[in-house]
Amino acid sequence: MAAFLLRRTVRAVLQAVLGASLVYLLAAAALDPRAHLAGRAPRPPDAVIDARLARLNLDARVPPSVRYRTWAAGVLRGDFGRTLDGRPVGAELRRRLGVSVRLVLPGAVLGSALGVVLGTWAAARRGGAADRIVSLLAYVLAAVPVFVLAVLLQIAAVAVNDVTGVQAVTWTGETAPGTGPLDRARHMLLPTLVLALAHAAPLARYQRARMLDVLTAGFVRAARAKGLRRRGALRRHALRPALIPLTACVPQTAGLLLLGGMFAEQVFARHGLGEWLADAVARGDVNAVAAVGCLVACAIPAAVLAGDVLHGLLDPRVRAA
């Protein structure tokens, strides 16, 4: 197990370093922070702009490799530099991350549970109406972009509010500090549902396929031959082996989940990482873009590593791979 854990950890670290480095180099090459500073009214003198870019490690006259080494050395110390407005990137990153986590985490948990339940239910009723409905729903949800799904659910929520005459669901913006749990739940219902449905669609299809493989396995047929009913054989013998591969599949969807969360932030007016990233790209704020990219480059390999470790604990055969 130690060798397995070491291999997976080294791989995750290398992926994180490579991903963060590529994000910074691409941002430094593609974005133009000078244009944003020069576009202010009144326009600052060129000498002032050059001095500011030099202080922010954004001077295009300095080779990208030198700027990258300066940035990477700061990141190792926990310093992500400063934004074009002079604010610490690290503080803003932590604040925005809290907003994004509160948005994405409930959707991820609910979507994972919903995907497992729907996939298992469809496999247990293979060929029936329930199987066809779940499969069709999964295909539709997988094909619809997150921002389109969010707009459709907003339209449906408006219709529900109009019919009931009560503001049962609200979604625009974040709740103010000190807001009661009921108001927070009303604000979180729609964004959580959007992310949960988008996350559940591929997991339901994957869980259905794995469950069908297990239901035809010899040990399940033997249990049925001994007199165990289909439901009991599914619950006691088929469900756990079908869930084990899911521990490695769920972390692989972390990137899509984060991307969906960024779109959801725009639609639901949440001031999280997605909004900050879009604004930073528009302004050419290299340090802010690199900070978000570094976070994502570390988060996805970390999620995959956690899934690999859990998969290895549940299935000893994986440790030798």
pLDDT digit of tens for each residue in the chain (321 aa)? 677 778 878 888 899 999 999 999 999 989 989 888 888 878 888 888 889 999 999 988 888 889 999 999 999 999 999 998 889 999 999 999 988 888 888 988 899 889 888 888 888 788 788 888 988 988 888 888 888 888 888 888 888 888 887 777 777 766 666 667 777 777 788 888 999 998 888 888 888 888 877 777 766 677 666 666 666 666 666 667 777 777 777 777 777 788 788 888 888 888 888 889 989 998 899 999 999 999 989 888 888 888 777 777 766 665 555
pLDDT digits (tens, 9 = 90+) for 222-241: 766 666 666 666 666 666 77
Q: Please give the pLDDT value at position 91.
A: 92
Tokens (6 digits) for 214: 């297990």
Q: Which domains does the chain have, with CATH numbers?
A: 1-84+284-321 (no CATH), 99-282 (1.10.3720.10)
C-alpha span between 44 and 320 (Å, rounded): 62
Q: What is the pLDDT of residue 318?
A: 59
**Helices of type H across the chain:** 2-30, 33-38, 46-55, 64-76, 89-124, 129-143, 146-164, 181-215, 218-225, 230-233, 239-243, 246-252, 254-267, 273-283, 286-314
- Burial level of 274, CB count in 10 A (0-12/13-18/19+)? buried
DSSP state of 289: H
* pLDDT at 291 (0 to 100): 94
Q: Residue 245's pLDDT is what?
A: 73
Amino acid 129: pLDDT? 85
Per-residue pLDDT at 177: 64
If you average pLDDT over every residue of the chain, what do you get? Answer: 83
For residues 182 and 247, what is the distance between their CA atoms, to the nearest angstrom? 33
C-alpha distances in angstroms, 248 versus 123, 251, 307? 20, 6, 5
Q: What is the pLDDT of residue 300?
A: 86
State residue 176's pLDDT score. 62
Give pLDDT, residue 236: 67
Rounded to two decimals, the pTM is 0.81
Cα→Cα distances 117→26, 148, 243, 257, Å: 41, 25, 11, 19
Which is nearest to 289 in space by CA: 31, 3, 75?
31
In angstroms, rounded to a whole number, what is the distance separating the alpha carbons of residues 288 and 293? 9
pLDDT value at residue 147: 85
Which residue reads 């869980």 in tokens?
207
- pLDDT of res. 89: 93
